[in-house]
Every structure is written in C-alpha cells, then in structure tokens.
Structure 1
Amino acid sequence: MSRSRLVSGVEVVAVPGRGLAVRTTDGEFLSVRTGDADGDALLSVLTGAGPTPATEEVNRLVRAFEKVGYVAGETRLAQWPADRRDVRLLGDPVLTRPLAAHLAALGAEARTAPAVTTPEGAPVRIEDLLDGDPAAVVWCLDGPVPEGLWEAADRLPEHGVAWLRCHREGWQAYVEPLAATPGDVTAAHVRARRLAATPAHRELAAYWRGPRTSGAPVRLTVPAAALLAALLADDLGRWATGTTDTAGFPARRRLRHVDLRTLTVTEHPVLPVPAATPTPEKDG
C-alpha cells in the first residue's frame, strides 16, 4: 500500500506547462525546479508509492523537501495519554455537552457537572475542584464571570492540574489560555490585562460586577457552541499529547475572542501579570 512521505497538509500538483508545484500548509504555491530530475520519479519517492530507483538528482530534491520540513518519516496521530484522560467539565450544558463529545472522540474521559456547589455566598474551594483527582478542569460559562468565581480555580496549576475556561459577554465569547504550570496565564491575569488595555476600564469593571440590564437574551446557536467547544478541545488535546502549535500564538499565551454573530475568531497574545504589578483599580 502506498504511504505518503509528505507531511500532513503539504501537497504536490502537476501544473500544465510549468512542471511541479508545492501547496504548503499555509495554502501558498511554490514552484519546484526539478532540473534534470524525473518528475514522476520524484513524485513516486515523495508519496512512497514503490521501489522506484531514485537518481542523485531526485535524492537531492527529496533532501531539499526534508530541509524545509515538507517530508517526514512515518507519523501517527498522537494518542491521548492515560494519565491525562480524566477531564472535569463544569458550567453550562450548552457548552459542556458538545465539549464532552469532542473530548470523547479524541480519547479523553470527560466528567460533566453543572457547577461546584457551595453554600450561598461562599467561595469555591480548591479542595472541591481537586475532588476526584482530575488531570484537567474546564469551566464554561454562557455569560460573564461573576466576581471571584474562578479565584480558587486559578490555583489548579499549582496542584498539577491543567486549567482551561471560556465565557460569553453578550455577542462576544472569550477562550482563555490553558494554564498547566505555576506561572502560566490565569483568569485573574486575563482580567487584569483586559482592564489595562481598554480606556473603558471603569465601564468594563462595572459590567463584570453587574447588575446588567439586557434586552432579548443572547442564545448560543448550535454552530457557535460547537465552535467554542472545538477550540477548547483542540487546546486541551495539544496539552495532553504535547503537540506543538505550528501557527499563531502558543495556546498557553493566547486569548481568543469569538464574535458569535459571524463566528470570527481573533487571537491576542497575553502574558502573566508579574506579582509586583498592581491590578488596575476598580471604582467602588
């Protein structure tokens, strides 16, 4: 059976009158100067189609493909490791249901709970989040984050538990960076960075605190919920399998903004807030 040696996403096409061209993983086309090499022999080697003898010219071109990362040895999809399979999902079912389905398809074992139950007015405790010894905790909110709700969860990486979250503010949703080790970006860091980045920091802080007067409620559509769940599952899968990010910002330093009206995703780099840096003051 033929086995392609080209890396996933790279393709070679024969262009009438112009020879061979490579379509890269970014969707760009690059011409291949084959010189005296036999184009069919080159394609045979690149696709692993059979024992076609390769000339020195063909081997030179294959080495050039290898040098720029278009050719690799046999690769297999990374499997979800057993010690990271236990993922606890908290929050709103409109998001946790599709996320659980994505994670199951990837090989994880998702445990879904609507919320961490605490006495009214009492903060969530880190002991409640660590109950059952999960490898990761994902918290999905179909609305803004109440003040202090994620304070304990921000300490999960200190206990060796990955921490991932998303929430909605009107027609905008935010998928925050995955935090896996102490020093990674927490929810408090994202909150502080967002306040510092906008001239409307007083208004944003007031919006988070509430109360908020709204018109007709925003309803997450099935495609919008599926998109948010897919983004979360992809970030979690990359952490679990150690898969490298090949485009955009690293998952642990990336804040995604999703326009729920158009399903447009925008990435923003975000860094941890140094301990000595004061959080922007909020009006009382």
Structure 2
Amino acid sequence: MATVRLTPGVVLVTVPDRGLAVRTPDGTFLQVNTGTVDEAALLAHLTDGGPASPELAGLARAFEEAGYTTRTPAPAPLGGRTVVVLGDAGLTGPLTRCVRDAGATVRHDLPDTPDARTAVVWCLDRPAPEGIWDRADTLPAHGAAWLRCHREGAHAWLEPLACAPGDVTSADVRLRRLAATPAHRELAAYWAGSATPDEGPPHTEASAALTAALLTGDLLAWAAGAPPAVRRRLRRIDLRDLTVTEHPVLPVPDVAPLDTRR
C-alpha cells in the first residue's frame, strides 16, 4: 500500500491553545477536531508515514476524502514531455534547469519529426535574424509546441506559445509589430541586419532567470492544455528594471494574392 502523504499545497499548522489547522492550497485555514486522536501521532502519520491506530485511521480517511492527502506521488508537470532548448547559453542554461526540474526530457537538437509531446523553445540574447525561425514556424501544424524569445536592445520579447494549426507564429508577430508602428520601415531594416551591432544591455542573471521562469510557465500551461490566453500573449521585459508588460496578439489571416492586372 502506498504511503499516505499531504497533497501538495496542503499544510498542517499547530496553533497555540487551539490545536491543529489545515491550510488549503488557496490559503484558507480550517480548524481540525482530532477528538481522542493524539495530535502528534496524526502529524507523524501524515508527514512521515507513522503507524495509525484504528481511531487515527478514521481521521486520516476523512483527510483523504476531503482531498487533503493522497496515496499516489505527485506527477511531474512536464513528465513524459520532451523540450528542445535552442539558442544562446545565457538563456538556455537556466531554462534547461527549470524544465528538467519540472520533469521534462531536454534535447538540444531540432527533431526531424516532432510530435504533440514535444516543445521547441528558442532563446536569443540578440535580435532574431531574418528567416531564422521560418522552419520552426511550421511546428504547430504538426502538433508540436513552439515558443521563442529574443532581445532587442534593452527589451526582451517573449512571443506567444503556439501548439496548434492557426496559432501565432514568429512571422505573425513580426507583421503585427510592423503594422503597429509608424517606423515600420526602420524596424524592418533593423531586423534585416541593416544596423550597427546590438550590443546591449545584455541579459543579467536576474533577467535570464525571469525569462526562463516565464517560458517554463508557458510550457506548464501547454502540458495542462494551453488556454487561448497563453497562445495570444506577447510579453516584453524591460531589462533595466525587469518590468513585464503584456500585449494581445492574433495570427495574421491568409489573404488572396494581389491582382497585378489592376
């Protein structure tokens, strides 16, 4: 029989002169009436797998029925998933640690035939060169998840997670950003490399850790079903003060080719 343990997020609190209380994952405190059961024995049973008397077993069963204990180990949130991490080492290092800690298998090469349990994350500590992500933009059409970020000067851009046909790709983000600025010619030239080298400020350990955490959060959302809000969210980190701003973004619909006869 599996050992009973507290459900993740549930905490038992010993309150002076009031006995035990349960802190639920949402932060609510509930007082526990232990009756004739010794509080120390209950704590030992629920935290260390200590023995249970018949009276204690009944109280422990009530905890289990309420969902405050479980007999199965908590699954790793990215268990059974493969995350391909590509890009610059200052960002891929912390991201690799985060996704491995969440249970994912990490690779550093783009697979020929990605599947629905594979995510590709590409991180650049510099502007994204023209065309670098064209092939990866096709990943969602095959069911794989696609996530990317890059830096432009003092700003890091985290683009929306794409995991299904019709989701926002890097090409969509570029078109939307060009449409949103009067300096679209200048921005297009900047992306095309017609500029002096973009030397900084580069990512710091703090901004890289923040970027890795936000990307990992998107991967956890993907593993849990990826709601539309995650797949329509463009984020920008100001590397000078670590301020994060969000902007909604939609895919660009296909249009008929322009009739050159007119």
Scaled by the length of structure 1, what TM-score is found?
0.63
- Shift, 1:104, TM fit: 5.6
Partner amino acid for 2:181? H
2:59 corresponds to 1:58: yes
Moved over 6 A (4+): 212-216
Residue 281 of structure 1: aligned partner: none
Structure 2, gaps ≥5 residues long: 257-262
- Shift, 1:167, TM fit: 1.4
Structure 1, gaps ≥5 residues long: 113-128, 279-284
- Percent of aligned positions with the same letter in both sequences? 43
Partner amino acid for 1:87? V
Q: Which digits, 9 at most, give the CA deviation of each residue in 1:63-116, with x for residues without a partner? A: 6732xxx433322443743xx537251x3333234434555664524225xxxx
Partner amino acid for 1:31? L
- The farther-off stretch of 222-231 and 54-63 is 54-63
2:73 corresponds to 1:95: no
Superposition RMSD in Å: 4.3
Which whole-Å CA distance do the structure 2 matches of 1:204 and 1:234 have between them?
31
Scaled by the length of structure 2, what TM-score is found?
0.67
Alignment size in residue pairs:
245
2:140 corresponds to 1:157: yes
Is this contact kept in 1: 2:178–2:187, CA < 8 A?
A: no
- Shift, 1:153, TM fit: 2.5
Is this contact kept in 2: 1:146–1:208, CA < 8 A?
A: no
Is this contact kept in 1: 2:156–2:239, CA < 8 A?
A: yes
- Shift, 1:11, TM fit: 1.0
Partner amino acid for 2:123? C
Residue 259 of structure 2: aligned partner: none
Q: Secondary structure at the match of 1:21?
A: strand
Is this contact kept in 2: 1:36–1:57, CA < 8 A?
A: no
- 1:218–1:154 distance in 2 versus 1, CA, 3 Å: same
- Shift, 1:163, TM fit: 1.1
After superposition, residues 1-284 of structure 1 pair within 5 angstroms as 3=3, 5-26=5-26, 28-32=27-31, 34=33, 36=35, 38=37, 40=39, 43=43, 46-47=46-47, 48-54=49-55, 58=59, 61-62=62-63, 65-66=66-67, 70-78=68-76, 80-81=79-80, 84-85=81-82, 87=84, 89=86, 91-103=87-99, 106-111=103-108, 132-134=112-114, 135-146=118-129, 149-191=132-174, 201-203=181-183, 206-207=186-187, 209-210=189-190, 217-233=200-216, 235-236=218-219, 239=222, 242-243=223-224, 251-265=230-244, 268=246, 270=248, 272-273=250-251, 275=253
Which whole-Å CA distance do the structure 1 matches of 2:21 and 2:255 have between them?
52
- Shift, 1:13, TM fit: 0.6
Partner amino acid for 1:12? L
Which whole-Å CA distance do the structure 2 matches of 1:257 and 1:54 have between them?
56
Partner amino acid for 2:89? P
- Shift, 1:22, TM fit: 3.1
Q: Secondary structure at the match of 1:202?
A: coil
Which whole-Å CA distance do the structure 2 matches of 1:186 and 1:57 have between them?
54
Which whole-Å CA distance do the structure 2 matches of 1:177 and 1:95 have between them?
17
Which whole-Å CA distance do the structure 1 matches of 2:35 and 2:6 have between them?
22
